[in-house]
Amino acid sequence: MTIRPIIRFPDPRLRMKAEPVSVFDDGLRVLAQDLTQTMRAAPGIGITAPHIGVLSSLVVIQLESDVAPRIFVNPQIVWTSPEMIHHVEGSVSMPGVTDEIERHARVRVRYQDLDGVQHEEEAEGLMAVCHQHEIDQLDGIFWIDRLSKLKRDRLIKKFDKLQRLKA
């Protein structure tokens, strides 16, 4: 297991669509383990393969209440509730900044596990937010794209300032 470098905003790969996984082998398992270690080191509660520059449809999520990380291969949202919630979000690719995003309160997600077996689950609250956030990333939609232009521009300026202070 390896902690891999996380690509940082504004890397153009963060806005590229991930390719579906078609080979379910040890390479995929190693990638999932590396993603898990990278997410924990970031630290974060969710990460996608594109966050480390691998354009594969693979997500790892581990909420505080989860005993182990959850792996989602080729996840797709197949249903969303009409009710909406607001949640503060951020990204391992844009550390140090967050903002409130509006998301569906509940979702149903279809995905495969590391063996290629199909599953479907419903999620609400934080887990529903995580699914939407990470699946957006797989679709090439970076989380700040959900903000108004004014909020997005302010957030980018704040992030740029943080990066200059670290340099």
Catalytic positions: 134
Would you say 77 and 139 are in contact if contact means Cβ atoms under 8 Å apart? no
Q: Which residue has the tokens 């569906």?
A: 104
Q: Which residue has the tokens 């990066």?
A: 163
- Residue 131 sits at φ, ψ, to 5 deg, of -55, -50
Would you say 47 and 60 are in contact if contact means Cβ atoms under 8 Å apart? yes
